[in-house]
Amino acid sequence: MNAVTLTRLAARDRLRHYALRNASLLLSYLVLATMGLYYVAYAGSHGQLSVFSVTSIFNNTMPLLIAAIGQTFVVLTGGIDLSVGSIISLTNSVAAVYMRDSLGGILAWSGLILLLGGVAGAVNGILVAVGRIQPILVTLASLSIWAGVALFVLPQPGGAIPPGFTAVLAGNAWSVIPASAVTLGVLIVFWMVFRRTELAVSLYAVGDDERSARANGVPVVWAKVAAYTLSGLFSALAGLYLSAVTTSGDATTGAIYTLTSIAAVVLGGVSLFGGRGSATGSMAGAFVLTLIVNILFFANVNPLLQEFFQGLVLILAMAASVLVNLFFGRST
């Protein structure tokens, strides 16, 4: 065998291993591509495809997508974050009550809100990693706490979000490109860079096998605290985005994001046992969940059945993921 053949064999070997390892992730891309094409074809043939409709899909997806990235950090460590929805509600309420239409005010309050989310996440992380309490208990408790605080901040839906804030996050650049699409690009780049940091390796290691990670000197406590902190930070960012998109405040508006962020993560092929998956999959999952709603809307399906179909898609996607893994001969 000559060197070229060997290199080619090695490349094929690498490709095979990659496909095996990322079967669920690739499947989520495939599902998204199929749904995206279907949507474009359907909307196009009905004259519904416009800058506006595409922008609105991006805008509607963005809060969920950001929350799903946050959820991914935690799920990768083998944990779960139920407080995502409450932190979104809280940050949305705070933004609606306090944010005023001045550049300084917007920047200061955005920074404060992100800090708030980060601190809320860090508290979760410390209780889980240092206090050794089950993630589901810790975050269930903080879910209630932050939901309560949100209602205290904004007892009635209302308040207002500065139009400038909305224009920047949910508008269009050069009146064509959705600002949300730019944000999405930034988030993808962020993830690709993050994936190559020491912290990312630690997150995957902890979720894969905590005992082994510890024996290899991986800073387990730090990794977990960082994961929950990032989750809180991203939840706050999702809350800001939601504020920009909805332009008003509601202390209960975030509640659905707890479960939908988990659904997006699962649809994206991230293992709930930890250690496997990618935030880009979760992003795809978030888009799939939004597109389902749009497609159902186009198809004139009773809106009351929306959640039913969302659940159905979730189950089908999971079944497909199991089948793909079986097909590749290894579900471990």
Partner 1 sequence: MPHIEAVDVSKSFGGVHALQGASFGASRGEVHALVGENGAGKSTLIKILSGLLRLDRGQLRLDGQDVRIDRPVAAERLGIGTVFQELTLLPHMTVAENLLLRREPRGRFGLIRPRELTRRAAQQLRDLGLGEISVDAIVSALPLAQRQLVEVAKVVSRDPAILLLDEPTSALAEREVAWLFDLIRRLRDQGRTIVFTSHRWNEVRDISDQITIFRNGQRVGTFGAADIDESRAVELMTGRHVSAIFPPLPPLGPATPVLEVRGLASGRVHEVDFTLHRGEILGIGGLQGQGQRDLFFALFGAQRLRGGVIAIQGHPVAIRHPRDAIRAGVGIALVPEDRKSEGLLLPMSVRQNMTLPVLAGLSRMGYVDLRRETQTVGRMIQQLRIRTPGPDQVVGALSGGNQQKVLIGRWLLAEARILLLYDVTRGVDVATKHDIYDLVMTLRAEGRAILYYSSDTAEMAHLCHRVLVMREGRVVTELRNPEITADALVRASLRLGGGISA
- Positions that interact with partner 1 (CB under 8 A): 13-14, 17-18, 20-21, 193, 196-198, 201, 204-205, 208-209, 211-218, 275-276, 330, 332
Distances (CA, A) of 300 to 59, 61, 297: 22, 21, 5
Instruction: Between 210 and 250, name the residue whose CB sits nearer to partner 1.
Output: 210
* Dihedral (CA of 45, 47, 53, 54) sign: positive
Q: What's the rounded Cα separation, in Å, for the pair 138 and 115?
A: 20
Provide, rounded to whole angstroms, the least separation between the CB of residue 219 and partner 1.
9
Q: Which residues contact 157 (CB under 8 A, 6 or more apart)?
A: 248, 249, 250, 251, 253
Q: What's the rounded Cα separation, in Å, for the pair 41 and 18?
A: 31
Number of separate helices (H) and strands (E) present in the chain: 14, 2
Q: What's the rounded Cα separation, in Å, for the pair 130 and 76?
A: 18
Provide, rounded to whole angstroms, the least separation between the CB of residue 186 and partner 1.
17
Provide, rounded to whole angstroms, the least separation between the CB of residue 323 and partner 1.
18
Instruction: Between 88 and 213, name the residue whose CB sits nearer to partner 1.
Output: 213
Provide, rounded to whole angstroms, the least separation between the CB of residue 330 and partner 1.
6
The C-alpha angle 103, 112, 139, rounded to 5 degrees, equals: 145
Query: Are the CB atoms for 178 and 172 separated by under 8 Å?
Result: yes
Q: Which residues contact 19 (CB under 8 A, 6 or more apart)?
A: 26, 328
Instruction: Between 254 and 277, name the residue whose CB sits nearer to partner 1.
Output: 277
- 265, amino acid identity: V
Provide, rounded to whole angstroms, the least separation between the CB of residue 84 and partner 1.
25
DSSP 275: S
Provide, rounded to whole angstroms, the least separation between the CB of residue 220 and partner 1.
11
Instruction: Between 131 and 217, name the residue whose CB sits nearer to partner 1.
Output: 217
Instruction: Between 75 and 169, name the residue whose CB sits nearer to partner 1.
Output: 75
Instruction: Between 106 and 270, name the residue whose CB sits nearer to partner 1.
Output: 270
Instruction: Between 193 and 316, name the residue whose CB sits nearer to partner 1.
Output: 193
Provide, rounded to whole angstroms, the least separation between the CB of residue 328 and partner 1.
10
